[in-house]
Amino acid sequence: MTLGACEDMRKIYVRLGKAVPKQGIELGQVLTSGCGSGGLIEQDLIKERKVNSSFTIDSEVLKGAFYEMNQQASRYQRTGGLHSAALVKRTGLTVVQEDVGRHNAIDKIVGAALFQGCDLSESGLITTGRLSLDMVLKAIIAGVPLVATRSIPTNLALNIAKTAGITLVGRAHLKKRYLYCHDKRVT
């Protein structure tokens, strides 16, 4: 892998040394990290993409995945200042990543899942941070049918998830969780 940056350090370029399995993500497509940045591509993305998946997860497995994610978040345990994100299958947690930014933690999860050959259409994405529009757009691009958080989604994130067919779950680590849309995936 090679990394490069433009002179003003505002763009970073990454070239991978090995092929990444193409599972719903178009290589060469760019979705930047950070609050609000994804809004510029929202309309085109939604017109073209719908997440269709038969993925379901038991509510207790989902709740347990949050507990397990927190147990594996070693950097958070040491510092108290990071976000975590994880990929969850019907049977439980598979991949955990941490980062100071909630958007970056999700980027790391999608990247790790692709390198491991995970079928993202049969997975859920869980995170510790508030779900913004950008984070739901990333799930749409990756083809992830369920996004759950310990926090809550923004209104824009909820509207886009409804349109794209993504299940959104807030306060998912609690017994009284909020199933915002497409709730049949949580049994």
**What is the C-alpha to C-alpha distance for residues 95 and 65, in angstroms, rounded to an integer?**
10
pTM given for the model: 0.77
Residue 100: other Cβ atoms inside 10 A: 11
Distance CA 145, CA 69 (A): 19
Give the pLDDT confidence score for residue 41 in this predicted structure.
47
User: Which tens digits make up the pLDDT trace of 15-29?
Assistant: 666 665 555 544 444
Write out the CATH class of domain 38-185.
alpha beta
Segment 104-131, tens digit of pLDDT: 999 999 999 988 889 999 999 999 989 9
Q: Which of 6, 35, 118, 181 is catalytic?
A: 35
How far does Cα 179 stand from its chain's mean position?
A: 17
Q: Where are the domains of the chain?
A: 38-185
When pLDDT is averaged across residues 87-107 and rounded to a whole number, the result is: 91
6 among known catalytic residues = no
pLDDT of the residue at 81:
83
